[in-house]
Amino acid sequence: MTEEQAREWLRSSFDVSRGAWAKLERFVGLLISENSRQNLIAPASVEHIWTRHIADSAQLLSWASSPALWVDIGSGAGLPGMVLAILRDAPMVLVEPRRKRADFLDRAARALDLPHVQVEQRDIRKIDGKAAVISARAVASLPMLLDMAHHLAASDTIWVLPKGRNADDELVSARATWHGVFHVEQSITEPGSKIIVATKVARRTP
């Protein structure tokens, strides 16, 4: 997928309003500018930012359309959380323990006028409440993620987890401790990369 194809795919797939498109463009600018101050995305990925990061994040919306609370674990540069918050006018909590990254997320949410975004500068294990959707991109293996965040999940919570090429192996490991309805979906931006979509996840009883 080229950069132009990624932009076109985004526009047509999510019926992006003019206002939301302007915010996406602005976010890309903020992210590239902040990347010279802190290491948010690999420098080599900047020239492919719409494919590698923006469309890659936005595609998660295809698997979770709930208008209720979405929690993004380890948002870092705002991926996928900030991209999703631009496309989705519903509560979004971005959890990021590193101060510099959380400050960037706070500033970006204000600059983009996204009052439905809440940034929590904390470890996910210290967050409470229940989420309708949980995402985490490049944060931890599937068994670790379930362990770190299962307290935020109800039985109908949808987990949407981009997993690169290790999805199947991680799923095998996770199934030793967890049961639920797990699907492995193909990423549209990266051939070979997968997204694990799960619901009804619960710890196996010994």
Ligand X SMILES: C[S@@+](CC[C@H](N)C(=O)[O-])C[C@H]1O[C@@H](n2cnc3c(N)ncnc32)[C@H](O)[C@@H]1O
From the list 63-71, 85-93, 97-105, 191-199, the region that binds ligand X by CB under 6 A is 97-105
Quick note: the x/- pattern for ligand X over 41-70, rule CB under 6 A, is ------------------------------
DSSP state of 138: S
* Nearest 10 degrees: Cα torsion 138, 152, 144, 73: 20
Q: Is 96 in the site for ligand X (CB under 6 A)?
A: yes
Q: Is 26 known to sit in a ligand binding site?
A: no
Least distance in angstroms from the C-beta of 32 to ligand X: 14
- Cβ contact 163:196 at 8 Å: yes
Please tell me whether residue 77 binds ligand X under the rule CB under 6 A: yes
Contact 95, 73 (CB under 8 A): yes
Rounded to an integer, what distance in angstroms lies between the CA atom of residue 137 and that of residue 160?
A: 9
> Is there a binding annotation on residue 79?
yes
Stretch that binds ligand X, among 22-30, 106-114, 132-140, 187-195 (CB under 6 A): 132-140
- Is 161 annotated in a binding site? The answer is no
Q: Which residues, in sequence order, are bridge partners of residue 92?
A: 70, 117
Instruction: Answer yes or no whether residue 84 interacts with ligand X by CB under 6 A.
Output: no
97 binds ligand X (CB under 6 A): yes
- The three-state DSSP-derived secondary structure of 149-163 is HHHHEEEEEEEEEEE
> Residues in the site for ligand X, rule: CB under 6 A?
73-77, 79, 95-98, 101, 123-124, 137-139, 148
